Chains A and B, each alone.
Chain A
């Protein structure tokens, strides 16, 4: 039986992806097995370390393709490279860190946990987020936090057009420029509790040298998603 200090190394240049993911799932199913994993030579493969459901530490050395760490539960996944579409999509809990940049729909529909992107995130970051916290060291693309329902999106750089379009109750914090706000998304007062929340999330993300007081807060004007009797004819 493995001790917690040992690292299980899997080389995707020789090990089939399904075998790797099955071995990671088996830890959750059987309750024992290596807790620390290092995956080398991902070479842009899709669905690396998807569907984890145990307190694992998984490091991936290199760039990954679509849906890496999708549906993650409990595990801590670190990508030492870039990630393509849908990193940590539908994450339930745990922590996913990308040291490089990510493509679109990062953290899409995620219910919980923490997603940290040290570089930039492309379009639709946090689309339909449902409770996840997302911290981006760089900038996010257009339509980020589209229909976001709850959780926080913290952007240390700039945000693209239509930020928070049709947003519900998520909180958006942006330090840089916002190219444009989406429908029903407005700027809101940055009170002490919000500065504290940003400070806490930056701390969890391990991003240093960023002043939480520099952020501005955006959220829902609550005009779009509430039933309004005046609009009855449109429903």
Chain B
């Protein structure tokens, strides 16, 4: 199973209450994914020349100020086992500094806008532990996981980073992920888990690195990925949705003057203000849908 939610704010009111809405949507998807949850929130961009990292530590009571000092950055905020660190360099270099300083830490996201938080446990508990309700932002993706392909761990939770300010959430399972992982490793893509979705994320990262647009990279999935999927991809400006051509995995989209939302099931959208009167539709199988600020504004 697994549940996916996505919310894109079109009004300042929704931006201010993004966290509240996201938590409400996530809670509705608990039945589809009670073993882990995660979110990617796009908010509070750092200035040019700075990089924003979300870093996970497996140690409770991590000394984040020491970590920040070791990589020449500052602590922006701490939520449960994750911290947002701001480093005066580019994101790739900031990530490399974290790896060099502490190989037990995991960089969950890197870029200028994105923050990724994820953990094992019930979605409501996760949301409360990470105090997600107070997050403001322009858009967000969320995921509730019912693991099928790999272990239930923080690292195996979604969203997965697919490059700077990019992330992927997935409902479904992939059959050819071992073959693809071997191919992508030869191309220099690194993997941290045996998870199938991480391979899809690595695939997108590879295609984008090779010069594909996001649409082209997603269309490539239709050819190269074997399995079931509804994907939602977060970008600095918006999000994209793709369902496999067989379309076993559900997705519904809805739009009002104030927001665009997607979810595995409508009841996760029903909690949003004005949902009763939203324009609603089911995304066609095998078709890439993209929302971004340039299109929606």
A contact residues vs B (CB 8 Å cutoff): 43-46, 62-63, 65-66, 82, 84-85, 100-101, 103-104, 122-123, 141-142
Contacts and interface: CB of A to CB of B under 8 A. Distances in A.
B222 interface: no
Contacts of A101: 280-282
Interface in B242-297: 247, 250, 252, 265-271, 276, 280-282, 285
A131 B268 CA distance: 34
Contact of A65 (B265, B281, B285): B265
B278 to A, nearest CB: 9
A96 B250 CA distance: 22
Given A122-B282, A123-B285, A142-B285, A104 B267 contact: no
Contacts of A63: 266, 270, 280
Nearest to B268: A44
Contact of B267 (A43, A100, A141, A142): A43
Contacts of B247: 104, 122-123, 141-142
Contacts of A82: 266, 280
Interface residues of B, number: 15
Nearest to B31: A46
B266 A84 contact: yes
Contacts of A62: 276
Given A44-B269, A62-B276, A103 B252 contact: yes
Nearest to A161: B245
Q: Counting chain B CB atoms within 10 Å of each CB, which of A44, A46, A84, A104 scores highest?
A: A44
Contacts of A85: 250
A104 B230 CA distance: 15
A65 B266 contact: yes
Nearest to B283: A122
A109 to B, nearest CB: 17
Contacts of B282: 101, 103, 122
A86 to B, nearest CB: 11
A65 B267 contact: yes
A113 to B, nearest CB: 24
Given A122-B282, A123-B285, A44 B250 contact: no
Contacts of B265: 44, 65-66, 84
A108 B116 CA distance: 40
A28 B188 CA distance: 65
> Which are the 5 A-B pairs with shortest beta-carbon distances?
A44-B267, A44-B266, A43-B270, A44-B270, A122-B282
B246 to A, nearest CB: 8
A46 B28 CA distance: 12
A123 B276 CA distance: 24
A85 B252 CA distance: 11
B93 to A, nearest CB: 45
Q: Counting chain B CB atoms within 10 Å of each CB, which of A45, A46, A63, A122 scores highest?
A: A63
A43 to B, nearest CB: 4
A67 to B, nearest CB: 12
Contacts of A141: 247, 285
24 contacts: A43-B270, A44-B266, A44-B267, A44-B268, A44-B270, A45-B267, A62-B276, A65-B265, A65-B266, A65-B267, A82-B266, A84-B250, A84-B252, A84-B265, A85-B250, A100-B280, A101-B280, A103-B250, A103-B282, A122-B247, A122-B282, A123-B247, A142-B247, A142-B285
A216 B270 CA distance: 39
Given A43-B270, A84-B265, 4 more contacts: A44-B269, A85-B250, A101-B280, A103-B252
A158 B281 CA distance: 17
A65 B31 CA distance: 13
A155 B252 CA distance: 22
A19 to B, nearest CB: 18
Nearest to A100: B280
A61 to B, nearest CB: 9
Nearest to A119: B281
A85 B285 CA distance: 15
